[in-house]
Every structure is written in C-alpha cells, then in structure tokens.
Amino acid sequence: MAIPREVIETIRERVDLVQLIGQSVTLQRKGSSMVGLCPFHQEKTPSFNVVSHKNIFHCFGCGATGDAFKFLEMSRGLSFYEAVKELADQAGVEIEDKQVTEAERQRFKRRATLYDVCKEASRFFHSKLMVSPEGRPALDYLLGRGMTEETIRAFQLGFAPAQWDGLQTHLHKAGYTPELGVQAGLLKQRSEHDRSRGSYDVFRGRVMIPIVDARGKVVAFGGRVLEAIAGTSDAIFADAPKYLNSPETDIYKKSSVLYGLSQARLSVQNKDRMLVVEGYFDVISLHQAGFEESVATCGTALTEQHAKLIRPLTRNVVALFDADEAGQRAAERSLPVFIKAGLEPYRLVIPEAKDPDEYIQARGADAFSAELTRSRPLFDLTLERARRRHGSSPQGKQKTVEELAPLIRLYESAAQQAVMARVSSVLGTPERVIGAWVGRVRVGQRPADPIPPVRRKWRGTKALNQLFWLLIHHNELVAPEIINADPDPDMITDYPPAKQAFALLMDGRSLTEVTDLIQDEGLKAVLFKAGGMDTLISADNAVNAAMQALDTLELRYLDHKMQGVSEAIAACNISDDESSYFSLLQTKQALQKRKDAIRQRFAR
C-alpha cells in the first residue's frame, strides 16, 4: 500500500527545505530563492536554487531537481520510504507500517535499530568515563591532554571497560540482542563457525570516540587503547593496536563520513574554509582552540565521497596531515581527489610537531593561526617533492613533468595553463615544452571507452513550458483566461503525461502535488525547473504572455494539421472523389485563415 498523498504533503509542508539542504550546502539569498554550489556536480558559479515557498530545489547546471524527499534520495542514497520516514520523524508525522512493503519495512527497521544500538553504546561509554571509578584513568588521560570537561561532553567521549562483556551485558539489559551488537560492529563472534560460543566486546580498555554522520547520529566508534591499563599482563590486551575503528556496517561507510563534520558545518560556512586532518584528537583539539572548521577522515585515505561532502560547503581546503613521510604521501594522494572535485587545496606542514594536536598543546591557538596564514598550494609542495626526487638534470625535469602530467590533465583548461606556468617557473623549462610533455599520451594508454547513448528525456517546447511556468507562479491570473479561451487539449500537447500535468495545474494543484501524481522523470524535471525560476514574467504581463503562448501552440498545431491535409489532397484522385477533394481544400483554407488571424495578433 502506498503512503497516502496527504501524509506526504503534510510532511513536505512541515519540513524547512532551506534548513534541510543547508546542512549540506552553503546557501545565500538571491531574490526570493536561496542559491549555492550544487552538491551533485562540479561547478564554480552557484546554479543550485532552493525555492522554499514552492518546496523544491533545482540546479540549472546539471538539472538535478526535486523536493525534500528527492534531496535525501540523491544525497544520501536513501529509498523513497526511508526519506519519507526520516522526514516524518522530524516533522512529527506518524507513518503506519502497513503503508510500506515488507522489504522496505525490514530494511528501515534494521538501519533504525542499528542507530539505536550505537546511541545506547555511546551513552554507556560516556557514563563509564564521567561517573564510573573504572573510567577515572581515562578521564585523567583526556584532562592531561588539555581537554576540558566541556569539550569531553561536546564530543561525548567515553571509556570502554577492560572487560570481555561490559558493553554486551549493558546492551542485553537495554533490550538489544548480541546479533544486533555484531551487526553494529560493537560485538564480535568468538568463532564464525560456532555461534554457540557467543560474542565479546570489540572495544576493551579504550578511550572511545563516537563517530557521527552528517545528521549528528552515532554510526561508529574509534577507540584509543589506554596505556595505563593496557600495560598490565592481562590477556585481554594481547597485541592490542593503539587505535581501533569500527568495521563498516549498514549505517557506516568510512569512505563517506568525515569525523566532526556535523559540529564543523556552521564554522566551515562562515569562514569559507575547511581544515582536513588525520586524527580524531586533532579535530577535538582544534575545535577546543576555536578552529571549529576542522574535520578528519575515519582511518582511511581521502575519497571522492569525502570531497563531495566538502564541495557544497566550501572550495577552500587546508590539508594538515602529519608532518612525517607518511603524512606527506597522504597529502600527495589527496591532491587528485581535490582537483577532480574542483576544490582549492592548500597544505600546511607544522614545524616542530607531528600533528595539529601536538602543536596546539605546545604552542597554543594564536601560534597555530599564524601558521595557517603560511599555507601553500598543495600542488606546489607536490611539485617540489617530485623535483627533489628526480633532480635538476634535463632527464630529471622531464621525469618530474611526466610524474605530474596526470595531475595537470585533471585541471580545467584555464587552471591547467596556470599550473603549467608554475611548473615552467620552478623547473626553468619553457612553458611550451611543459605543455608538449603534458599533452603526450603515454605508450600503451587505452583510448577512452565510448560513451553509451543516453535516452532522451521529454523536454517540452518553449511555449508549453512557459504556460507551465505561468500556471505555477501566476495561476490565479492565467488559469481563468485559458479556460475562457477553451483551447483544444490536443493543441496544448500530444504527450499524455504533459496533458495530465496541465490539467492538474489548471485545477489549481500545487507543483509538488502535480509531481507526486505524474511518473515521467523528464516532465518532472521541466516542472521543477519552472518552479525554480521565480522571476521570469511579472504579474502585469502574465495574461498577455499566456495568450501568446497559446497562440504559438495553436500555430504549431495548425501547421501539423495542414501538413496532414496537404498529404491527403496530394493522395486524393479528383476524378474518383471530387467531393472529398474540394472538402479537403476548404479545410485547408479554413486552417490557413485561422493561422493568418493568429499572425495578425502577433504583428500588433
């Protein structure tokens, strides 16, 4: 059973679309709309519009379009039901289980339950840290690192007891089965082949860092072993790694989560800058020091999914990976990811410190702020490292360019010229030579795969789309005039879904209500695009524009009919059917007379 349309409409009306999208995209007011960089394609000039009074978004660059539900489907990969259910919870609207399929219900129930399990685990760890005697060494450790209790509470830091079943016992009392703990990555089966042996806690004797997603929901954990406990001879700490992260689950994909993003978003938008670091404690220390625009990857290299989270918020990124060789290589590996996403990456190597946390503790916020002003383009540092590796001989310079060529090719044309000029300056090699080396195709390089043909979506016509726009934005003015004109429905369009949309708009239905009722994606895109353009025609000119659009559509319709009549006349044998022949001539003359009358109106 489908979710009733009135329920969907209620949810849509209650959700603040600007607030929802503003969690992922930096929006600025432009007229009656909000605009920002599109989260679904790479662009430098904002073309992504949010029209709150129509409850829609539309990108004039890539055509991405829809409502609040569609935004969650596109940005987070949710099903329609999952998007509806999530927004319903926010809007205080209850969705009955009988309104969804069994598969949808089970999938959402599983995901929702995993969120609940992680939330309960976070409460347990935090409570152990703050009020339990066994958590005191962990609390002393955090305070000793310079963290305040306010920061500890803000990030909900915790402590996992040095027990095999401390969390498992707590989850059991809270009503969660061991199987759910395993699915959430918090428990582990003692044997994959013998489930009867039970499960045990993954995190033991560790300072716990909850990892939250973009909405602030706990989805995973990072745990740092506590040396004061791990230094004992207890087998529970045998071969324990310093840091341990949750495995990937149904609700956690580390390549798509940036630690600290939910807390950093507002600062990133205000400062138009993001600091990307490697460690959880780097983020926490930087936030406490006032650099709340800081985030970290979750134990993995920077990915394209991470870049997609960054791009709608800001184009300016400072990479603060560790100062050791591993950190340098990590920074270099991140460069193509940044370039592909259209971001402006900078690199800061902090002197006399391994990482930002260490530097902040030793030198303080003011010194760190001064260091930030000395950030350099990440490409420059990558160029310097390549030059040092290959030397300054002619062969070494060529090897340097050949190593950097794949990166240079990733830049757009204008930026590519600037980058090649920079390489030319550093290497002392003419720019035309650099360009020649970059332009070469490597031996054995495969040609690009042919692009598969794309099925064309319905796009409408200029006149019909203008009528759609007028009915969406000035319905009360133009609908009565169109009714008085009484146009032939076939004259408006011969495409059945478009006829349906036109009739619904004439009936005064809202844009989102119309798009709920039609299935054609091309038509939906046309309607959403019309909804996103709110200053096309003034109210004073609306009626006149509607009549002109109707005339244009009628001329097109008459041309089509005349072509059919002309073909019938050519095929008619006057000697065999004289009456039909002259009847066709009269029809053609009437059609021509009607066309002439319309053209006279255009000429006025």
Q: Cα separation of 471 and 598, whole Å?
A: 22
What's the pLDDT score for residue 153? 96
Q: Cα separation of 101 and 80, whole Å?
A: 12
What's the pLDDT score for residue 451? 43
Domain range summary for the chain, segments of one domain joined by +: 5-100, 103-252, 256-374, 381-439, 462-603
Give the number of other CB atoms < 10 A from CB of residue 205: 26
449: pLDDT strictly greater than 50: no
φ/ψ of residue 571, rounded to 5? -85, -10
98: pLDDT strictly greater than 80: no
* Mean pLDDT within 18-43: 88
**Which residue would you say has higher pLDDT here, 287 or 98?**
287
CATH class of 103-252: alpha beta
Residue 75 pLDDT class (50, 70, 90 cuts): confident
What's the pLDDT score for residue 108? 57
What's the pLDDT score for residue 450? 45
* Mean pLDDT within 56-71: 90
Which pLDDT tens digit goes with each residue over 549-600? 988 888 888 888 888 888 877 877 777 777 777 888 888 888 888 888 888 7
Q: Cα separation of 437 and 59, whole Å?
A: 38
Which pLDDT tens digit goes with each residue over 358-383? 999 999 999 999 999 999 999 999 99
* Mean pLDDT within 252-262: 92
Q: Are strands 33-36 and 48-51 parallel, antiparallel or unpaired?
A: antiparallel
**Which residue would you say has higher pLDDT here, 52 or 229?**
52
CB-count exposure of residue 90 (10 Å: 0-12, 13-18, 19+)? middle
446: pLDDT strictly greater than 60: no
Is residue 440 helix, strand or coil?
Answer: coil
Half-sphere exposure of 228 (CA within 13 A, CB side): 12
What's the pLDDT score for residue 192? 57
* Mean pLDDT within 462-483: 91
User: Which tokens in the block code for residue 376?
Assistant: 């350099």
246: pLDDT strictly greater than 70: yes
Per-residue burial over 276-293, b if 16 or more Cβ lie within 10 Å, else e, is bbbbbbbbbbbbbbebbb
478: pLDDT strictly greater than 80: yes
Residue 512 pLDDT class (50, 70, 90 cuts): confident
Residue 41 pLDDT class (50, 70, 90 cuts): confident
Q: Cα separation of 8 and 534, whole Å?
A: 24
Residue 459 pLDDT class (50, 70, 90 cuts): confident
From its phi and psi, is residue 17 left (phi > 0), alpha (psi between -120 and 50) or beta? alpha
Residue 103 pLDDT class (50, 70, 90 cuts): low
Q: What is the pLDDT of the chain when averaged over all its residues?
A: 86
User: Which tokens in the block code for residue 40?
Assistant: 């679904």
User: Given strand 206-212, what is the order of strands in its sheet?
Assistant: 158-160, 206-212, 218-225, 243-245
Residue 234 pLDDT class (50, 70, 90 cuts): low
User: Which tokens in the block code for residue 414?
Assistant: 């204008």
Q: Cα separation of 505 and 510, whole Å?
A: 7
* Percentage with pLDDT > 70 across the chain: 90
What's the pLDDT score for residue 376? 92
User: Which tokens in the block code for residue 26?
Assistant: 């930096």
Question: Is it true that domain 256-374 has CATH number 3.40.1360.10?
Answer: yes
The domain defined by 5-100 folds into: DNA Primase; Chain A (3.90.580)
* Percentage with pLDDT > 90 across the chain: 39
For residue 236, give the DSSP letter.
G
* Mean pLDDT within 441-463: 57
277: pLDDT strictly greater than 50: yes
Q: Do domains 5-100 and 103-252 have the same CATH topology?
A: no
Residue 413 pLDDT class (50, 70, 90 cuts): confident
Which residue, among 223, 222, 226, has the nearest Cα to 237 in the 3D structure? 226
What's the pLDDT score for residue 596? 84
Q: Cα separation of 62 and 38, whole Å?
A: 8
**Which residue would you say has higher pLDDT here, 603 or 116?**
116
Single-letter code of the amino acid located at 349: V
What's the pLDDT score for residue 444? 37
Contact 171, 116 (CB under 8 A): no
* Mean pLDDT within 490-496: 88
Per-residue burial over 575-587, b if 16 or more Cβ lie within 10 Å, else e, is eeeeeeeeebeeb
* Residues paired with 200 in a beta bridge: 188
Which pLDDT tens digit goes with each residue over 310-363? 988 899 999 998 777 887 888 888 999 999 988 989 999 887 778 899 999 999
* Mean pLDDT within 64-77: 88
Which residue, among 168, 164, 190, has the nearest Cα to 180 in the 3D structure? 168
